Structure 1
Amino acid sequence: MFSIAARGFRRVYSKSGITVPWLIIRGESTRSTGRSESHQYEGVRKLLERFEGPGPIRHNEITPASPPIPGGILHSSKRDLNDVEINSYDYASLGPTIEKNSCWCIGSSQDGNSTEQSPYFLSCFAVDQNCQFGELHFVREFSSAPTPEELLNFIKCCIIRPITRPHTLPEILFIPKEFNAHLKTIQPFLDSLPFPFRWEMMPPLVDVILHGQALSQFNEGREYLNIAEEEAAKPHGRARAIELFEMAIECFECVREGMPVDETEQIVLLQKFLAVIHKFLFRLRMEAGQSDPQVTEAAILNGKKIEEYDPTGTFGYMALCLAYQRIGNSFESYAALQRGLMQPNMHDNKDIQQMVPIMETIRSGLDVQQAKK
């Protein structure tokens, strides 16, 4: 029972390559058969695709800024960007050098007050799967913002004149969006590079880092879900599964809180997914807490989150009705069903309508209690 949503969650990652706004990393295929409950949340696919990324990542692995440039590197090469070698090199021969999930980012910066007299720097860093900046491949100082031709030659030098390694290509190269106007000059060269090389325009590096933080939290939450699923299937794994589901929720809540307020659709999709996790927690707790009011109270909190995050679904209202009845709070049980019936889509819903006779019984009991007071 507990594998439905988690397996459906992993199924989204079966694509071999998914484009996300600020980071492109290809994940391993983890095909799985779909099951019924996850079909209610197919819209979550868009959100999951946005945060596609590999493996568990910890918050403290996010680098807050680009690493410093070692002294002397800026002027270490005596060769000019415009020499014959960079234009005659056989770049197509570098296909075998492309490492899976390798990623380079070109960053731009300007010293001083960004005046015309201030030095302008371009640098190219490797970025690993943890969104952490690594090797510096190439860096060059310019007297002003680079021209399209200078940017093209800089990219070529990143490939054939790297500081620390042999000639190579990444799987994905990110180029700052400030160079959109240079695309006409650089795109033919980039498109000519061998598969599986890809390139993408991106926001400034600081935005990549911020997205990396969200990606880190999302992937950490995903890992907790996978382990929670395994624990829930064990004979005595319920307590550990509950703990892991809670940890996953914390991660996804951090992602939700950090999302821009104008991304309404994405926020709604994430909240629906959070409702799915709370549903699993509710079921686990209701099974475990038949004789423990404190566990049932915790399940009620899950029910309230389900109602909050998925107000058009029936599960939250019915869950609260059941949980409140278990602890003898008929008033709240009745109120939960009333809220469900107030939703515009509930009047023809078979599940909620089956609860109406129960609601009437509850209301009769409440009337008797009120009359005795």
Structure 2
Amino acid sequence: MDHYVDDRPDSERELWKKVATKLKPDPVTGRVDNNDILTFLREHENDPDLQLLLGNSRKRADERDRLVDLDTFDFKSLPVDPGSLWRVRVEYSGLVDPETTYIIEPHELKEFPNAKHSFRVYCDMPSADGHMDEVDTRLVQDYEGMPKSEDVLLFLKKAMAVPISCFKPALPATLMITHKFEPHRRVIAPFLDSLLAPSSTSSSASLSENKFSWLLEDTKTAELMSELQYSKASHFFRQHKADALVHKEAGNTAFRKGDGVKAIKEYTQALRRFEDAHCQKVGVEEKAEVMKMMGLVCANRSAAALLPGEGRDLTLAVNDGRKAIVADKFYAKGYARLAKAYQAQGDLAQALDALAEGLRLKGLENEAGLVDMFVDMQTDGKGLPEDDEEFQKVAKTILEEDKESAKRVKDIGGLWRKRISRVAVL
């Protein structure tokens, strides 16, 4: 059975061909996967061709949803795809800010207090080559919190009757549902059992029949699928990471030569590959490792954006400095890059605030490089005077007389506090 349908008008097909030329496949897998599509959408959000294409697609999807009443739809009339296997799974997406839809890291909760735990449900089917380790997603939906029984039932109905617009309405020969939805059996079983052929007396109907059957995967099957997914994810994680490191080193080489344009280009490619690695379903430690590397590359790209010449971009320098410390809160160079970027913009107050933000952290309060830069900016590059009388004047200005400065340094301790208090540092 052909799974796909193309109900687009000729004009939209031509528009898609035009947009598709801009969509590059993953250099590791050679395929265009969800991560590549998301990156493309993010980087081309203002592309008029893409916006028109997305608008048309949304209209057709809305029209299909409007025309199909799932309460009265005759699901038994749908053709069964012989020998097919669909798998419904749920994955934790992370903390998501409902206003921006950004995925929020735990240390960002103060900035995004309304972030909610989000889960994504997929209905996967084998891709055109027939392998289940390469799947096409028939339907995907996001939920705040784990979906409720009514949500799961509606999702199953939509996967059959109104999937993503490129798929035909159909039933699978076998529908395998994640064991995590076992609590919803009471609600979904009556609907699914109503689709069984008369000869099928339970949800454990033979997988070889060209009739509809369904089952909730058992714990052993779930563990096996999880192991397979982790093995595959680990493989691509290592490949993406290795590719990212190659681009990072190429960026470093270009930076040392003073070629800001090439350095930014290579660092950008490194970040894309690190993002691809981070998206893989691997362990927490592996993801944390990649986040640190992303912080480093953002800091490097910030520095590259400050190089004189065609690639100089102060806005990028500031944004990347901020991204560096979001990726790794205790990365000292991130605060230094952000301060340098603000300084280049002529905003000394913001530059000082960036350094103070880092020096307030216990893990960075004795970071000599940050302290040196902080003192240098506080004293217009003169440093703290050797003469005691002059030193006391400068210290009093920083600590008391300059109200903005006094507020900024109030909670800073460590090495800077020792220097401004003339405490001997052993």
TM norm. shorter chain > 0.5: no
Shorter chain as normaliser: what TM range?
A: 0.3 to 0.5
TM-score norm. by structure 2 comes to 0.37
Using the size of structure 1 for normalisation, the TM-score is 0.42
Using CA pairs below 8 Å that are at least 6 residues apart, which structure has the higher relative contact order? 1
